[in-house]
Structure 1
Amino acid sequence: MPQTSVLLILEGTYPFNGGGVSTWAHTLCNRVSNADFKLYSINASFEQKPKYELSKNISEVIQVPLWTPDEPYDYISYGEEYYKTVAKKEWTTSKIVEQKFVPLFRRLLSFIYSDNQEISELDEIFYELWLYFDDYDYKETIRNEQVWIAYRDTVSKFIVGERNPDSSLIDLTVGLRWIYRFLIPLAIVDLPKVDVAHLTLSGFPVIPALIANYKYGAKIILTEHGVFIRERLLAINSSEYPFFLKQLLIRFSEAVARLVYHKSEMIISVNKFNQKWEKWYGADPSKFKTIYNGIDPEIFKPGPKPAHLKNIPTVVAVARIFELKDILTMIRSCAVVKRSIPDIRYIVYGDDKAVPEYTETCLKLINELGLQENFKFMGNRNNPEELFLEGDISILTSISEGFPYTVIESLACGVPVVSTDVGGVKEALDESCGFTCKPKDAEEIGEKVVKLLLDETLRKEMAVKGRERILKNFTMNKFIAEYEDIYDNLKYPTKKQDKKEEAATLY
């Protein structure tokens, strides 16, 4: 039986960056046996080489850098013939832009700011944008003066009044630059033919999925890890952007999230928590399915603590160093623990170069609290199954999560967990194998860490229960079997019914 051809669409993760979504994608691409994967990887900048050894199941990697000084096609060939590239630039005259693109762009902007959105209209707008950019050049279009005038005049209607403070020229300019970057995938129209476009977040990466759907009839499915719109709202509300830019980001992000849910034939969540948010943004519950992340219990298994840490009370974390992981609260919890356990050691493994400003803020707090000997950043490692064994317990202090691998990997290794109660954490971690705490509450987190470190009997009980919980609920075999079934049934929708009918004839 031919394999299902899958365009797996990712942003800022696999195969060029680490993290939970990358672990999920790497597992999927290595273990699923009935799919040929083509990766569509959207990144901030151009990446020279993958951080992962790619599976033979991956036949192609399409990289789209969004925030480089030049255009993506200045770095990468996307298969379009040179003559067509040149011709598209020549065909993109001011008259064409004014007659064909500007009305579409006005419709898009009006939709973003409308309070009465019929989501099928946004689908139609993107369909017509795809048709337009199949013939005309992206850069020549967006930088045309008529586009700026249309943008300025359209958004001005929505930023006047008491509830919308005046916006500066620089605010308007930044807003258009953002739109320009978000829509860059519209310039990459020569996608490979696929059966399925598999999204890993309900955001702007929907654009290549839409193109695959319009061009080849590819079916769109979504696996939601952390809820895109929830995390976007958290980031925007804590930012220092002026009101106009916050409103633009929120409205555009909300509209796109609704479109993703509308177009997806199946909305898979790594936890049940996500589904509440998805329903708020118009998702049809009949599309919902929960597939928990799974791990290999033969790789993640209990073992001895390393000799050099044997007599040191140790907390281990595997987390990328950035805002959503709330490492600042983790540091403050270390200070709480130090009051009771002076020789406490927090060891944090993860990328500390991704957001340098945030890492600097963390290092400054470590110095202010006098934790230089207690709290250590260790950088990236590729052996998490060994790293968790360094800790008496593991810790997670995120303000947003999907279904974190660090929790189930720790439990499989027989290491109890103290975590914030976010996303699907409580679906993995119950009171038999660890503690959940309120996000940002360093005192509560610290107190739970102290309780576990000082009670060896409790730690050992939780270690056994945690391992049992993983073996029962969160193994890789279960995870992979569910995705293989989904891919088969999307390409061969009658297969499942045929199996049922065949089984019925046996009795």
Structure 2
Amino acid sequence: MSTKIKVMLITEGTFPYNGGGVSTWAQTLCNEVSNAEFKLYAINANFEQKPKYHLSDNVKQIIQVPLWTPDEPYDYMSYGYAYYKTIGRKEWTSKQTINQDFIPLFSELLHFIYGEQNEIKNLDATFYKLWLYFEDYDYKETMRSEPVWEAYCTIVSSYVVSENNPTASLLDLTIGMRWIYRFLIPLAITDVPECDISHVTISGFPIIPALIANYKFGTPIILTEHGVFIRERLLAINSSEYPFFLKNLLIRFSEAIARLSYYKSDRIISVNAFNKKWEVLYGANPDKIQVIYNGVDHNLFKPLEKPEHLKNIPTVVALARIFELKDVLTMIRSCKVVANKIPEVQFLVYGDDQAVPEYTAECLALIKELQIESNFKFMGPKPNPHTLFCEGDASVLTSISEGFPYTVIESMSCGIPVVATDVGGVKEGLDETCGFLCKPKDPEAIGTALISLLENREMKETMSINARQRVIDYFTLDKFIKAYEDAYKTIKPLKRASNLLKTEIFSIN
């Protein structure tokens, strides 16, 4: 029996501690891929006590890195360092060392973020040198030192003035430095496991542990792009109430990291064709890009009888984590459109409604304002999602950004037609024979499409048959698994000696 390929799977805020489409994808990958075993590198906001998912025997280790805890990650768990080395790093991190060895690197990073027309290979070289520095010196002692704060204020202020921005306050500068500190925390965890492949699930800051493995062991990198990180980051930033300085910092830093992610990845796997134009826009080599659609177990997600208590009630089902990107507010407004025509309609929304309590409160307030408390109900997270779609006559998705959502193909596999927003790769899964595509943030169009399905039995039955057949033809689990097994086989031989990588990186100067 051949030895399995060792994969470090790097996630952010998803598997194995939180739900959602990326977690479904990761769970499927870890459970079903037969030629690989996994070490999970999970970046979270907070320290999590236990996984949400049952992990298969293919998962050999979990490394958890909490970014936003009051203490440092290594205060919560061990990362394999000997105690003497941890103490030594703190003692060796003197003000002289920071000024002499770190400030030039930190300055390179800031000038790259704010500068124009920088070559991405220069950022690669900067991260290589940052990794070498933190192999020997303490992250917290360095990043919270007076020389670093002074260098940050001096460099950033010079760019702020040049952009004629009068609004950057001391508080803005402080928050900006705090963000940089948190985003770069994985640089403090230099003892990453040696694997055959690093597999990153987002083209953002989780690239850092993959970079370390690449510099240290020559480990090749696969990036799977779900929703495009930089696109979703731009949407979130532009709709935020941050002052210009902070928006500008977030956008510039995120764009730099996205470019670096594409540059360093040996293979970029997109869950849809839509993502490719964004990837190429930020420097991805088109020859590296491959589309692998998500797959569903059509023998599990199959048509079932509608539950007795709902048989005579027009019902719309949604499976969604309740937060801004899913635009549940538009879903609520579409429910009002439907209820005006079909007063007895029920919208049953399954998913985590405590992920962003402020947003859930806003949703509940809108439900009350529209007087549809009896029509629109948050059902909370439930097991066995393959049974939930069959409670509905239709399902709905109102996201403002998506990759290739499982909820669409799972619903289709159950023979339930879908009304969804035309974002990301949704239209690559859902066509006009299986449901309706609508513009984002258009509750009138979404509601009207749902009314058509709920009132036209013949249309619903035809779309039901077409939806299931489309999944069987294009989006089954076996197609998904074989594609990733093939990808791992072709990427593994790219592992190179770390001294060769060092030569390549420094040959650019």
Q: Which residue type is aligned with residue 199 of structure 1?
A: V
Tell me, which stretches of 5 or more residues in structure 1 are unaligned? 495-507
SS of residue in 2 equivalent to 1:53 = coil
Is the 2:167–2:243 contact (alpha carbons within 8 Å) kept by the matching residues of 1?
no
Residue in 2 that maps onto 1:497: none
1:199 aligns with 2:220: no
Residue in 2 that maps onto 1:301: 302
Residue in 1 that maps onto 2:116: 115
Moved more, 375-384 or 174-183: 375-384
Cα distance in structure 2, aligned partners of 1:32 and 1:112: 38
Is the 2:220–2:494 contact (alpha carbons within 8 Å) kept by the matching residues of 1?
no
Is the 1:199–1:206 contact (alpha carbons within 8 Å) kept by the matching residues of 2?
yes
Cα distance in structure 1, aligned partners of 2:5 and 2:181: 33
Cα distance in structure 2, aligned partners of 1:363 and 1:493: 52
Query: Per-residue CA shift, 1:121-153, capped at 9, x if unaligned?
Result: 000000000000000000000111000000000
1:422 aligns with 2:445: no
Is the 1:159–1:166 contact (alpha carbons within 8 Å) kept by the matching residues of 2?
no
Shift of 1:162: 5.9
Cα distance in structure 2, aligned partners of 1:4 and 1:213: 16
Shift of 1:166: 3.4
Cα distance in structure 1, aligned partners of 2:383 and 2:140: 40
Residue in 1 that maps onto 2:239: 238
Is the 1:348–1:378 contact (alpha carbons within 8 Å) kept by the matching residues of 2?
yes
Residue in 1 that maps onto 2:213: 212
Shift of 1:381: 1.1
Cα distance in structure 2, aligned partners of 1:19 and 1:222: 18
Shift of 1:164: 2.2
Query: Per-residue CA shift, 1:15-39, capped at 9, x if unaligned?
Result: 0000000000000000001111000
Residue in 1 that maps onto 2:45: 44
1:470 aligns with 2:452: no
Cα distance in structure 2, aligned partners of 1:193 and 1:282: 28
Residue in 1 that maps onto 2:143: 142
Residue in 2 that maps onto 1:14: 15
SS of residue in 1 equivalent to 2:103 = helix
Moved more, 163-172 or 255-264: 163-172
**What is the number of equivalent residue pairs in this alignment?**
494
Q: Which residue type is aligned with residue 122 of structure 1?
A: L
Q: Which residue type is aligned with residue 299 of structure 1?
A: L
Cα distance in structure 2, aligned partners of 1:463 and 1:387: 16
Query: Per-residue CA shift, 1:411-461, capped at 9, x if unaligned?
Result: 000000000000000000000000000000000000000011000000000
1:13-412 paired onto structure 2 within 5 Å: 13-161=14-162, 163-412=164-413
Tell me, which stretches of 5 or more residues in structure 2 are unaligned? 496-509
Query: Per-residue CA shift, 1:153-172, capped at 9, x if unaligned?
Result: 00011001464233100000
Q: Which residue type is aligned with residue 319 of structure 1?
A: A
SS of residue in 2 equivalent to 1:158 = helix
Cα distance in structure 2, aligned partners of 1:469 and 1:96: 62
Q: Which residue type is aligned with residue 222 of structure 2?
A: I
SS of residue in 1 equivalent to 2:159 = coil
Query: Per-residue CA shift, 1:282-329, capped at 9, x if unaligned?
Result: 111000100000011110000100001111100000000000000000
Cα distance in structure 1, aligned partners of 2:80 and 2:381: 35
Shift of 1:406: 0.3
Q: Which residue type is aligned with residue 6 of structure 1?
A: V
Cα distance in structure 1, aligned partners of 2:477 and 2:198: 23
Cα distance in structure 1, aligned partners of 2:3 and 2:120: 35
Residue in 2 that maps onto 1:498: none
Query: Per-residue CA shift, 1:67-120, capped at 9, x if unaligned?
Result: 000000000100111010000000000000010001100110000001111000
Cα distance in structure 2, aligned partners of 1:465 and 1:331: 28
Cα distance in structure 1, aligned partners of 2:325 and 2:198: 27
**CA RMSD after TM alignment:** 0.9
Cα distance in structure 2, aligned partners of 1:477 and 1:384: 20
Cα distance in structure 2, aligned partners of 1:321 and 1:163: 39
Q: Which residue type is aligned with residue 338 of structure 1?
A: A
Is the 1:165–1:243 contact (alpha carbons within 8 Å) kept by the matching residues of 2?
no
Cα distance in structure 2, aligned partners of 1:393 and 1:52: 28
Residue in 1 that maps onto 2:499: none
Cα distance in structure 2, aligned partners of 1:446 and 1:192: 50
Cα distance in structure 2, aligned partners of 1:275 and 1:489: 21
Residue in 1 that maps onto 2:483: 482
SS of residue in 1 equivalent to 2:290 = strand
Moved over 4 A (4+): none
SS of residue in 2 equivalent to 1:160 = helix
Cα distance in structure 2, aligned partners of 1:22 and 1:202: 16
SS of residue in 2 equivalent to 1:235 = helix
Cα distance in structure 2, aligned partners of 1:407 and 1:162: 44
Moved more, 201-210 or 159-168: 159-168
SS of residue in 2 equivalent to 1:157 = helix
Whose relative contact order is higher, 1 or 2, with alpha carbons under 8 Å and at least 6 apart? 2
Is the 1:29–1:58 contact (alpha carbons within 8 Å) kept by the matching residues of 2?
yes
Cα distance in structure 2, aligned partners of 1:121 and 1:229: 20
Cα distance in structure 2, aligned partners of 1:382 and 1:218: 37
Q: Which residue type is aligned with residue 261 of structure 2?
A: V
Moved more, 404-413 or 158-167: 158-167
1:447 aligns with 2:448: yes
Is the 1:112–1:255 contact (alpha carbons within 8 Å) kept by the matching residues of 2?
yes
Q: Which residue type is aligned with residue 447 of structure 1?
A: T
The TM-score normalised by the length of structure 2 is 0.96
Is the 2:404–2:425 contact (alpha carbons within 8 Å) kept by the matching residues of 1?
yes
Cα distance in structure 2, aligned partners of 1:288 and 1:246: 30
Query: Per-residue CA shift, 1:169-225, capped at 9, x if unaligned?
Result: 000000000000000000001111111110100000000000010011100110000
SS of residue in 2 equivalent to 1:293 = coil
Cα distance in structure 2, aligned partners of 1:493 and 1:163: 47
Q: Which residue type is aligned with residue 325 of structure 1?
A: K
SS of residue in 1 equivalent to 2:63 = strand
Shift of 1:491: 1.9
Is the 2:201–2:224 contact (alpha carbons within 8 Å) kept by the matching residues of 1?
yes
SS of residue in 1 equivalent to 2:437 = strand
Query: Per-residue CA shift, 1:45-67, capped at 9, x if unaligned?
Result: 00010000001000000000000
Q: Which residue type is aligned with residue 376 of structure 2?
A: F
Is the 2:266–2:491 contact (alpha carbons within 8 Å) kept by the matching residues of 1?
no
Residue in 1 that maps onto 2:500: none
